[in-house]
Amino acid sequence: MLDSWRFAFGGELIPDVTSYNNYFQRVRYRAGFYYGTDPRSVNGAQIKEYGITLGAGFPIILPRQTTSFLNIALEAGRFGLEESLMENFVQMTLGFTLNDNSWFFKRKFN
């Protein structure tokens, strides 16, 4: 086993979080990239991995003005060595962030 490391950088942009006229001004746009090494090696050469990620979080307004999100991400990258073992990959991710603070209210019954 070899030492491994990974460098990753990313960010999120919300054009105008208070906009009520334009839905796409409230969407959370995300982008990033990463580069690193794997602890495994092939023929003495350490395996490398790198890729880019793009994503968006689409707001969904629920009752009581709580905002949840439908998150979509796309990742494309490369894993391996140029001369012997190489894998190109594309991964799509779909996720939900459900924000509902009514779960934590203490109910009072008379």
Mean pLDDT calculated for residue range 73-95: 94
**Cα separation, 99 vs 60, whole angstroms:** 10
Q: Domains of the chain: which residue ranges?
A: 1-35
Give 18-47 pLDDT, tens digit per residue.
Answer: 888 899 999 999 999 999 999 988 888 899
pTM of the model: 0.80
pLDDT at 54: 98
DSSP readout, 4-46? --EEEEEEEE-S-TT-SS-GGGTSEEEEEEEEEEEEEEETTEE
User: Token digits for 86?
Assistant: 């190489």
Mean pLDDT calculated for residue range 59-66: 78
Amino acid at site 1: M
pLDDT at 28: 95
pLDDT tier for residue 102 given thresholds of 50, 70 and 90: low
